[in-house]
Structure 1
Amino acid sequence: MPQTGVLLLQLGTPAAADSAAVRRYLAEFLSDPMVVSLPRWLWLPVLHGIILRTRPKKSARLYQRIWLENGRSPLLHYSLLQTQEVERRLGSGIITRLAMRYGQPAMDAVIDDMHRQGMERLLVLPLFPQYSGTTTGSGVTKVFQRLSRYKQIPALRIAQPFFDHPAYIHALADRILTREPPRSGRHYLFSFHGLPQQYVEQGDPYHNHCLTTANLLAQAIPLQKDQWTISFQSRFGPQAWLEPNTATLLKTLPKQGITDIAVICPGFVADCLETLEEIAIAGQKEFLSHGGQTFAFVPCLNDAPEWLAALTTIIHAELSGWIEQEFQHDPLNLPSDPEL
């Protein structure tokens, strides 16, 4: 049977919670033209002359608030656990690896290692439920670029975004019902990472995918329309971004009489700076200081058993035809040629 590989793609993380590591990470991340589409002559002087001189020190302090005792970021920690568990569940004969679009483990090195192990078929599964050119698109492009260097390119599949997959929705609903179930007066905020509005206008399906996920999740719990709100966080730069903005809602919801909220970030399958610091720490402080009374943060899917089962189910479906039992005989009953 040909050697099959599964490559799980994540965005990336600094190697350490210090200014130097954060600077290296941000330089790679923000230099990607699929993330920041401004003309290079305009953007790169701003990036290197202003942002990389000021932002790393501030961001490093934020990372220090959430960094784990094992020396890893939560994103790397949980992504590795997910990869290890998927490999165990898929069984022998399938190489399962994690690669980061930015940072370590570096995508080029991971793909090269899989290639050296004799990989003949590769499934790429971006761990971004909702497709965006800034995440899935950039990661897949990087895979194409690396594979193009080989004399023999493996058979290749790119997994479909799983924003509406029943197993993913079930895992999210179970996370909420287990951690912060509905109660009288509680309102749910489904906070997704933001995106410049211009990207959506240019055809990026991310916004529609987020809306679909949010509606399916509300139905699965179930929640009435007045019990939940979708929002978008992590706004960066002067451009118009998707609305409503999470940070703004955390200030204004108490004025609308909503003082008991539970926040979940469905677009992140592993906790990271954007969930643990921006929402669970800073977001909670903002909400309570503006009149909110009760703030609950629902952790990301991380290593929850329901999510690991869902992820394996999604991968199994994408591998259909590759991992099923091979024919034990010639299906056409052709005579064998002793010279071959």
Structure 2
Amino acid sequence: MQPKQPSIKGRGTAQRIDARYNHHQRQMVDDGWFQEPENPPKTTVEIEHPKTIITRNQSPDLPFSQSINAYRGCEHGCIYCYARPSHAYLGLSPGLDFETKLTAKPDAAKLLKKELSAKNYKCSPISLGANTDPYQPVERDFQITRQILQVLNETRHPCHIVTKSAMVERDIDILQKMASNNLVQVHLSITTLDPALSRIMEPRASAPKRRLQTIETLSAAGIPVTVLIAPVIPVLTDYELENIVKAVIEAGSLDVNYILLRLPLEVSPLFETWLQTHRPDQAQHILNRIHDLRGGKNNDPRFGHRLRGEGIFADLLAQRFHNICKKLNIKSTLPALRCDLFQTPNSQMSLF
């Protein structure tokens, strides 16, 4: 069990837990001397210049094979974020560094055009937000996601957007054009409807009520929007399942799905410490239920198991979800995104 630690206002964790590739590992000991810093850590952004921008995967339990991440790290600070361990590749902490030391890729749109122009490129939907949120707060200044969407719209390339930010409303002008050709679907991620819990668990993400409003706004604009209840946290949030499904359908979501909490690598001790800090009375109960769902462990990375879990409690959760969808007569009518409209960038020049 991880020791309880004070928190920093507006951050998911106060820990700078060592990355797994570091030469030295430090053991945190609570000696009673920790105090919240008078000058809390500010967000810094380094510029990254990658050679390519499209990431490809062959995961059998993901509905896409291509994705783009405009940023590394995420200022939303969600304590449960499965992407936190990726910061270890930068030699940074998956803890506080993940939400305060970010990198941005301002050349993303330019690189995307180049890759879409390749002779051997085959069009398939690109996911924005597969790792870190494309509409996290720094997007207000960098607008990298908007530039990517402009390229996708110009080339009539399909994409999925996964976000928990109301900032997606900023790009309604582009999304409406793409939606008119069935080239985009927005997937809002909602974890809880409790604003107090959301504030400490995902401190810089849009409040639950604001996300429901975003569903209404996108739906009214003719943009297909669905909801991912992600993650479902045993004991802590799973009791909200029925209420969340009902609320998002009433707001205009065309479909809803869920993903069980994942605690890979460094996320596990970070989440345990968060529990001891914010939910000490429930901590052991929550961890015991996670073990029931994950074969006695904190995490199970196996394909086919990592998103849903296994065992009696996983089966009960799936049955509950099925029953609420049946009761509300939820039948997804979302057609597959179109790939046949894709136009290679500047392809019109070949006519001259």
Fold shared by both chains (TM-score > 0.5): no
Task: Tell me the TM-score normalized by structure 2.
Answer: 0.31
Which is richer in helix? 1
Q: State which structure, 1 or 2, has the greater radius of gyration over its C-alpha atoms.
A: 1
Task: Tell me the TM-score normalized by structure 1.
Answer: 0.32
